[in-house]
Amino acid sequence: MEAEFTKPPLEVYKPPLDDSLYTMDDEDLDFIKAQSGITDPETLKKHIMAVQSKAYDLYGHMCIRRFSFTRPKISTFPMYEHVLDLGRKGGLILDLGCCFGTDIRKCASDGVPVQNLIASDLRPVFWDLGHELFNTTPETFPVIFLAGDALDPNFLQPSAPLSFSSLPPSPPPQLSSSLTSLTPLVGHISAIHISSLFHLFFEPQQLQLARALAGLLSPAPGSVILGAHGGKITKGFNEKGYCSGGHHMFCHSPESWREMWEGIFAPGTIEVRAELKRRRDGAQVGETGSLVWSVMRLRFTK
């Protein structure tokens, strides 16, 4: 494991932007038209590409180059209706690594009150660009945004998962601009969405992040963590794929992903689903693909 963690980075290559990658199905197009208020297809494309260029100049992430920020991910997952139900009933929903906030806006558009939504990303400039992309302001879309690194204990203090039999934690803090970290929310989050983030890290950091998220999650049955990221049939580095930081992606298999989460929570307290699927860019599942997964809290232990 140590050898993998210290594997030297590749030479960073930042390919140029390519407008031929701009493709959306009707559902995604209707969503971004409704959210931005721009209905003319050519005007919308120019607007999206202008925001893309600003973001890519700052951080050359492949998801920005591929226009992934224009397509909600969370609504494609089997657990989406369950997440909406949690949020509509007052549960807090966190989108971690939210980038431009596309997924959190999808939840809001599908009926989750904005006061039950939280967005967080390492780079606040992405959240600001989200307001530009969707033609909103903090006043017209008042979802709380928290800038920080979930691997930094000053932003998210690691905590063991609460058991269902535990006394509930103190009431969650009021969601307002005075909230500056995720730590006060430990044990209070009903649903955590995290996509295209885990594969940015090596295996030890992925485990560290998973443990931190497990502590954030409410002990109530039905609370869930869900997302998607790069995966492999067999656990290990994807030698054909690399991150914007210049290193190969470390990818879990569905089996190793389940084992990781089952080693974090007490036996019998969660249900883990993980499946390797075709990426949304249409690439066939071979040795690699998109690992789509969820971790749900159960009421009883075995």
Report yes or no on 35 lying in a domain. Answer: no
CB 24 within 8 A of CB 70: yes
Domain that holds residue 109: 73-160+175-297
pLDDT digit string, tens, across residues 233-268: 999 988 666 555 555 789 999 999 999 999 999 999
Q: Does residue 20 lie within any of the structural domains?
A: no
Residue 96 belongs to a domain: yes
Residues whose CB falls within 8 Å of the CB of residue 175, separated by 6 or more in sequence, listed in order? 92, 115, 118, 144
User: Band of the pLDDT at 163, cuts 50, 70, 90?
Assistant: confident
Judge whether 48 lies within some domain. no
Query: Does the structure show a pLDDT above 50 at 4?
Result: no
- Domain assignment of residue 118, yes or no: yes
Any domain includes 84: yes
* Total domains present in the chain: 1
Structure token digits, residue 8: 């030297």
pTM confidence score: 0.91
Q: How far is residue 293's CA from residue 258's CA, in Å, rounded to a whole number? A: 9
Q: How confident is the model at residue 280 (pLDDT cuts 50, 70, 90)?
A: low
For residue 218, the domain's CATH number is 3.40.50.150
- In a domain, residue 68? The reply is no
Span 194-221, mean pLDDT? 95
